[in-house]
A = this chain, B = another copy of it.
Amino acid sequence: MTPPPQDEFLDAAKRGRGADKARQMLKVAQLYCTEARIAILQVLMQAARPLRQDQIAGQLTERAMSKVTVYRTLESLIEVGLVHRAFTYQRAWYFELADHCTEHQCHPHFTCTNCGVTHCLMDVLLPLAKISQKGFVVDRQQVRLEGLCPACA
């Protein structure tokens, strides 16, 4: 009886392989390798969608963590470009790894107005708005979609 691949992956992450990846990312970014940063990076690496602070905290299996620390940890990861704020929904920020981003634009996010679930549209890329001739310098273009997801349509 071999365990299913997901469990194997999660197990590996807990045992340290995911932690090593996180440590390396932090070293490159010149951030202290703290328990909080390693754990939160691992949670975000395994996440299929952006997560709120409380969802991230809820995934921390090893040790509970103050929400202040979660917020400050995310802030530090954002500052060095490892994480970004994907969008807000019902007054709360959703965070995700910043790896799937192109220079000025990340993938779009679709939020279902019926079930509230958000999907990352990894393979959808809209053209950048051409507004530089008007004197604007675009740093980031963000696309949000709302409607019904396949399960709710």
Contact = CB atoms under 8 A, between A and B. Distances in A.
Interface of A: 88, 91, 108, 110, 113, 119, 121, 124, 126-127, 129-131, 134-150, 153
Contact of A147 (B108, B127, B138, B143): B138
B136 A150 contact: yes
A129 B126 CA distance: 7
B136 A147 contact: yes
B129 A139 contact: no
Contacts of A148: 136-137, 139
Given A124-B129, A126-B126, A129-B121, A140 B147 contact: yes
Nearest to A148: B137
B141 A144 contact: yes
Contacts of A146: 138-142
B136 A131 contact: no
A138 to B, nearest CB: 4
A69 B144 CA distance: 29
B150 A141 contact: no
A111 to B, nearest CB: 10
Nearest to A147: B139
Contacts of A135: 149-150, 153
